[in-house]
Structure 1
């Protein structure tokens, strides 16, 4: 594979982004501050592996949102989520996961400073920055530090840092609009953007600019995707007919109601559950499944700077984002033995009866009879998430003969209002169940008054806030024969708070089968840090940094880093670093929190369907005694850049984490009930009902791999051809599945989330006069299937191509066109994934066209 990759890259594959190594082809001596350091130095003196994606690169890529840009990068290798993760408490969001270590281990900054995490937690524990809340038009470049950076930035920077850098100043006016359509799914998208600025900082002493983005995209349901809508995968490895049995008595699907209602079909039980016999009622859940929510998003950014004197500048920045996403939450509520409601007094769930009393019109028996039934006449349950994001930054910075300094204050928050519709009122249900006022067998006979009494709409609130004060100063301490000794120091005071609540209907016990994630807590962080850069020789420099953090909830963390940069030739640079880092326990993991969700797992002890997937209620609580995750990072690399148009880089990384926080594998708990007393609750039949867990420090995690980046440009008679490639190879990714367990290898499989060994992109860009075009090849490797169903042993890889072009031959106007997924490839079949493709790597769309126009006035 490596020979194949290098050959293709050498023949002309090129990354659409300028993702070459930080040193490659850089002849500028401008003094800049680069992500991963507080020191200003010439751009040739960069010591960290930093990938740079410019605004022009983003435009060339054809990508139209910040998450799409970042998720396509090879270093975003797995375990990252976007709005396809619709079953989450953080539906409609998108994050980035460097090195496959999850969103919680990737620090996202804007202009080198923090932004608020999203209002709720992903997977009940991950707090992260929602990329959908951040602007795209205001972005000048994105710097991705592919190295640990806790010594500079503190918590969360174990896998690396994504620093979104906005324009420091802008003059002129730019308007843009585009439309897009996926020809396979019919999904439409519309976008508009504006960027306007005035004032020359050098001549006028000030600059102010404003940007605005707007985006609207249709909802995509599973029923709108041709290869998914029938939910019949019996011809594929590990595939089956996906139907949900319902409307039956006594927990036995073959004891079905006398007639079908709503979307029910008459099916052979063995077709749905091999080995079973009899006839059942079942429905296709595709019609109640949203794959990609419909969205409306608006982003605004306002930035101003004012020269107080020749050496001092005041600046202010305000970011605002509004995001509205809509989706089908699920089918009409199912009444079954797993029916629950929340008991606020005991902070636990209480069981709600599904037993029809004797004499109930829907009960054909003389004795009380339990039922399983969907309330189809109430309609599907829907959800709308409305999120607002804000960040205000005020600061003053100066540059004198000896010191450069920057003092700033920041406030940022994320606020969620989640609205749910067509949920069911527990008290009305209990009343109608007792008096026979609701007909389960023939819902068409129910009165509208009965239906209206059952329906409730709810609103779930949540917010996350961060406020900080930062002060940084840098200088040159001494002059050595090889150059000046750089020094920087700083202090940070930060306050974080989170409050994720639930609806009044859930809190009062009125909502049936509630899902909730209650989080309430806060903490104060203080940090002091310092950094040195020492030129030991004209070819060799040493960098050192250290940061001490104090958290009011768990205590202290110390994070040192040491790096070397050796340049024996003008065209060759060798670099290496070792560091220690940490991730503070998230507020859901360590503070007061309780989560209730619903999941499924294979249960070998199920009395009806042993070894098959069964549904259960999942209760998760915080652990106030949990320890932070610690890490040791090592990086070693080289950059060969014989000219400004040629560069090759190779970087090796190794990350070792200790005390990784998580939950023990649910399957292991089910298989070993004696080792987990009290964690499992079963009903009178022995069927799985509830599993209770607490966050814990599971043990170690280790990962290693390397990045290859190649770039070559030629100035030809007709224009310029740029060829480049960026590939990441995952060598190992190991961690235990439960506390004290053996390390399990996840690289090249989906045991620890889908982690393909190779991910990369190669493309060719051609610029000729007013024309510009880029053809990009994206490759994601296949991986081994690790589910218990061994019918599918491997999930295939995927190769897709994007093509973009622009024409600037009209005065002040640029026309653009792009085709995503040029060959209309669908994601590879994965029998273990919830939607039968891995949503952390792919999306269900096909060939999509985009047409746009941009008008620019200087």
Structure 2
């Protein structure tokens, strides 16, 4: 067992102290209630409180302070938005490298992400080994440089009629920095220092930092703003003492590993470089040309399960002391948009063309193909994935005189998209079946075989119309309708009605009713992969995800995927009872029909025999595939309050944001007759997948924040309550370990000092009281190796400390 190096901790603390001797004081968070929003409405005068749907607005300074150990946008959103969930993953295959985020407890691919109002592309890889986001390929928030963001607008309401597919849970619109001059440089460094109870150690790891640069230039009446972001983070490890699984041979070499930390559980090692630009240039006739783009490369190293010296995965003692494979991921993410906007024959027009692409290369190192014996390599390419997207938009809007006190706003538009998904095979050794009688294929793989690769595309055409108006001094109303046609999934029509009625200038009622939809992603239709996952009795086994259109899946009763369809209802109150005070309360219900999810894992001797004899799928212990087998209902409420005033010679802001939601399954499909005949039992969606949909993410999260600014100093204190989560495993034969992890409080703090107008220095900590989730029970802790589950948003790394320096010019 490696003992922690106390000198590393001492150097970290000395670095923090040195930084304090020398970044903007903690600026009072902007009062967003009067901010004009551009998300969720085509009107140009709606604010957070006067909008007909709930909208959160977050600014760059708040996001920077909330980014925490990971230093990325999604981590900041989770800190600031109770309805946003971005849990860590570990020992989860590709999910270690591309994490998924949730809004309002829905699936990660049920939230639409925009950048400057334009649709963002999704990631190329499907997460099939994670818990949160299992079976989805959502937008990779980590591919968006944090210092590129001016503000984020989060629409917490269904918006399929306004934006098209994916907007079931809501819309996140990321507005890029457009300052026309000046710049800044920000450097952040930090690491974990924690008392780890399972092994009674003081651990110091996860050290890392970021360097962010950006600059703006005027171009006449136009501008260009560009920036770069470089980060490096070391891995963390919170694995426990190994008890050695009962199903491993009790040989002296295996038993000698008892009590050691053989596994890894924690954050992956990650290196990232991001570049971005945003610009606009006036044209003759009053129009404006604009362009923006981002590019990110991220290399990461994740963890896989340990292989013992005398296991079948190490037949020739290739690794005398056993080995723990490490998964590797390289993600290249590119997005470019260009367009022209301005007046056009009585309309305000915006025509744009966007291209987005994500490439993900998956591999494994410190591994071997046991069937190749001594001839096996130790590093493998497991395959590559690409998703690319072209989007052309034409949006038109104009005032419309309907005889009301003020003109209404009419907006119409059209969108054309072309999406493509392609996968490439891993190297030959990653799938080879060698002469040694041992598990074939790369351990922690195997790779993607040529027969499992895919190359598919589709085209989508959509049109919409939107009409909004102040019907009276008290009543604002908006109606939207949209129709989209997918070349592979058919057509879908959606609509939305929303309204806001002001009883007084300080009190208003708002509500909306809408329908939305989400077409199955190309990757969900064509994805195929084999993973090492828990099988019968909790033993690691090979589980293969079959494409729904494949002959093997069809023979097991799989059916072609169809779009999810939803009905959204929301009702809320907004109030400003006194100067500096605002309160909003919104309740909602989201019904989703034909929800897309992975089926349960099915295994039997007859099934394995059929796959091998009829379809050439050898050494497969279990299978699953995507299905529309579930209808769900999500109900919840969001309460947000804010107070601003003077205190202790400075400005004080207090805020509380409380979110609660619950998802229930309304319908599930029974098992196809084909699977029943092969000895499978249960339903298409069983205990584990039902747990993923309903109770694996927190039902409640509450965030309480206090910020104070006075002169050159400022401070922030934030308390977050993460609600309970539940983990369910189904290991077969009625063995279903289940545990509910209790609610956990997290305390974050930061102090900031501005010695000059240009310089600002900050010291802070995340989870400064070193809170951990509940310990996992023995049946879930995997023989002592995984003492904490990944489900809790508080994570299981302990306290994190950081220093930040910021120079503006």
Q: Same fold (TM over 0.5)?
A: yes
**Structure-2 residue corresponding to 1:440:** none
Q: How does 1:692-703 map to 2 (within 5 A)?
A: 692-703=623-634
2:150 counterpart residue number = 140
Q: Please say which of residues 802-811 and 565-574 is displaced more in the overlay.
A: 802-811
- Distance, in Å, in 1 between the alignment partners of 2:495 and 2:442 is 51
Distance 1:657 1:394 in 2: 35
2:96 match: secondary structure: coil
Deviation, structure 1 residue 792? 7.3
2:110 and 2:564 map into 1 onto residues whose CA distance is 10
When structure 1 is superposed on structure 2, of 649-658 and 284-293 the one drifting more is: 284-293
**Are the structure 2 counterparts of residues 574 and 374 from structure 1 closer, same or farther at C-alpha, using a change threshold of 3 Å?**
farther
- Name structure 1 gaps, 5 residues minimum: 1-14, 232-240, 247-252, 267-281, 340-353, 355-370, 430-449, 604-611, 683-687
Matched with 1:728 is 659
Counterpart of 1:105?
Answer: 110
Matches within 5 A, 1:181-192: 181-184=191-194, 185-186=203-204, 187-192=206-211
Could you tell me how far 1:111 is from its partner in structure 2? Answer: 1.1
Distance change (3 Å), C-alpha of 1:765 and 1:373: same
The residue that corresponds to 2:269 in the other structure is 294
**Equivalent position SS for 1:458:** strand
Match of 1:814 among 757, 760, 769: 760
Taking the TM superposition and a 5 Å limit, the aligned residue runs for 1:164-179 are 164-179=174-189
- CA shift, 1:492, in A, is 0.7
Question: Residue 58 of structure 1: CA displacement?
Answer: 1.8
C-alpha deviation, 1:658, in angstroms? 0.4
Match of 2:73 among 52, 58, 66: 66
Is the 1:673–1:680 Cα contact (8 Å) retained in structure 2?
Answer: no
- TM-score w.r.t. structure 1 length? 0.77
- CA deviations 1:224-259 (Å, max 9, x no partner) are x3xx4324xxxxxxxxx454653xxxxxx35x4xxx
Distance 1:846 1:125, change over 3 A: closer
Does the CA contact (< 8 Å) of 1:151 and 1:546 recur in 2? yes
Cα deviation for residue 336 of structure 1 reads 6.7
Q: Distance in 1 between matches of 2:693 and 2:337?
A: 42
Query: More displaced, 781-790 or 520-529?
Result: 781-790
Is the alpha carbon distance of 1:45 and 1:453 closer, same or farther for their aligned partners in structure 2, counting shifts above 3 Å?
A: closer
Alignment of 1:363-402 (within 5 A): 375-376=319-320, 379-399=323-343, 402=346
1:41 aligns with 2:42: no
Partner residue of 1:579? 514
Q: Scaled by the length of structure 2, what TM-score is found?
A: 0.82
1:565 touches 1:576 (CA, 8 Å); kept in 2? Answer: yes
Separation (CA, whole Å) in 2 of partners of 1:615 and 1:220: 24
Q: Deviations over 1:446-466 (max 9, x none)?
A: xxxx4x655453352221111
Q: Distance in 2 between matches of 1:583 and 1:720?
A: 45
The answer to whether the Cα contact below 8 Å between 1:664 and 1:738 also exists between their aligned partners in 2 is no
Q: CA–CA distance in 1 between the matches of 2:693 and 2:562?
A: 25
Aligned CA distance change for structure 1 residues 329 and 598 (closer, same or farther; 3 Å): closer
| Residue in structure 1 matched with residue 457 of structure 2 by the alignment | 522
1:410–1:467 Cα contact (<8 Å) kept: yes
Q: How does 1:260-279 map to 2 (within 5 A)?
A: 260-261=252-253, 264-265=254-255
**TM-superposition CA deviations, 1:233-288 (whole Å, max 9, x none):** xxxxxxxx454653xxxxxx35x4xxx33xx325xxxxxxxxxxxxxxx6568424
Separation of aligned partners in 2, 1:391 and 1:530: 27
Matched, 1:801 2:801: no
Deviation at 1:71, TM superposition (A): 2.4
Distance 1:747 1:802 in 2: 33
SS of equivalent to 2:471: strand
Please state whether the residue corresponding to 2:109 is helix, strand or coil. helix
The match for 2:678 is none
Number of aligned residue pairs: 719
- Stretch deviating more after TM superposition (833-842 or 113-122): 833-842
User: In structure 2, how many angstroms separate the alpha carbons of the residues matched to 1:127 and 1:800?
Assistant: 29
Q: Distance in 2 between matches of 1:711 and 1:677?
A: 59
Secondary structure of 1:320's aligned partner: strand
* 1:677 positional shift: 11
Residues 284, 316 of structure 1: alpha-carbon distance in 2 compared, 3 angstrom cutoff: farther
In 2, the alpha carbon distance for the partners of 1:461 and 1:379 equals 25
1:846 pairs with 2:801: no
1:600 has 2:534 as partner: yes
Matched residue, 2:675: none
Distance 1:584 1:793, change over 3 A: closer
Distance in 2 between residues matched to 1:544 and 1:427, nearest whole Å: 63
2:380 paired residue among 448, 457, 478:
457
Alignment map for 1:745-824 (pairs within 5 Å): 752-783=694-725, 794-824=740-770
Shift of 1:586: 1.5
Measured in 1, the distance between the counterparts of 2:739 and 2:91 equals 27
TM-superposed deviation, 1:798: 0.6
Indicate yes or no: 2:575 matched with 1:640: yes
Rounded to whole Å, the distance in 2 between the matches of 1:839 and 1:76 is: 18
Aligned partner of residue 762 in structure 1, secondary structure: strand
Give secondary structure in 1 for the equivalent of 2:776: coil
1:244/1:285 contact within 8 Å kept: no
SS at match of 2:401: strand
Paired residue for 1:365? none
Q: Deviations over 1:279-312 (max 9, x none)?
A: xxx6568424252111111111112211113621
Aligned to 2:437: none
Assess if the C-alpha contact under 8 Å between 2:776 and 2:788 holds in 1: yes
Once residues 76 and 62 of structure 1 are traced to their aligned partners in structure 2, the CA distance between those partners, rounded to angstroms, is 16
Unaligned stretches of 5+ residues in structure 2: 1-25, 129-133, 195-202, 435-440, 550-559, 614-618, 672-682
CA contact (8 A) 1:735 1:743 kept: no
Supply the distance in 2 between the matched residues of 1:745 and 1:17 (Cα, whole angstroms).
Answer: 46
Other-structure match for 1:408: 352
Q: Please say which structure displays the higher CA radius of gyration.
A: 1
In the alignment, the residues of structure 2 paired with residue 420 and residue 745 of structure 1 have an alpha-carbon distance, to the nearest angstrom, of 30
Q: Secondary structure at the match of 1:728?
A: strand
Tell me which residue corresponds to 2:9.
Answer: none
Q: Please name the residue that 1:538 is paired with.
A: 473
SS in 1 for 2:61: helix
Q: As a proportion of its length, which structure holds more strand? A: 1
Match of 1:711 among 633, 638, 642: 642
Report whether the alignment pairs 1:115 with 2:50.
no
In the superposition, relative to structure 1, how do residues 65 and 689 fare at CA in structure 2: closer, same or farther (>3 Å)?
A: closer
Aligned to 1:622: 547
Per-residue Cα deviation, 1:540-593 (whole angstroms, up to 9, x for no partner): 122111111111111111111111111121001211001111111111322x33
CA separation in 2, counterparts of 1:748 and 1:90?
Answer: 19
Partner residue in 2 for 1:347: none
Structure 1 position 220, deviation (Å)? 1.5
CA contact (8 A) 2:282 2:289 kept: yes
Contact 1:426 1:509 in 2 (8 A): no
Does structure 2 conserve the Cα–Cα contact (< 8 Å) formed by 1:176 and 1:193? yes
**Does the CA contact (< 8 Å) of 2:150 and 2:175 recur in 1?**
yes
Q: For the Cα contact (< 8 Å) 2:630–2:668, is it kept in 1?
A: no
CA distance in 1, matches of 2:645, 2:625: 58
Q: Bigger shift: 808-817 or 135-144?
A: 808-817
Q: Is the 8 A contact 2:431 2:442 kept in 1?
A: no
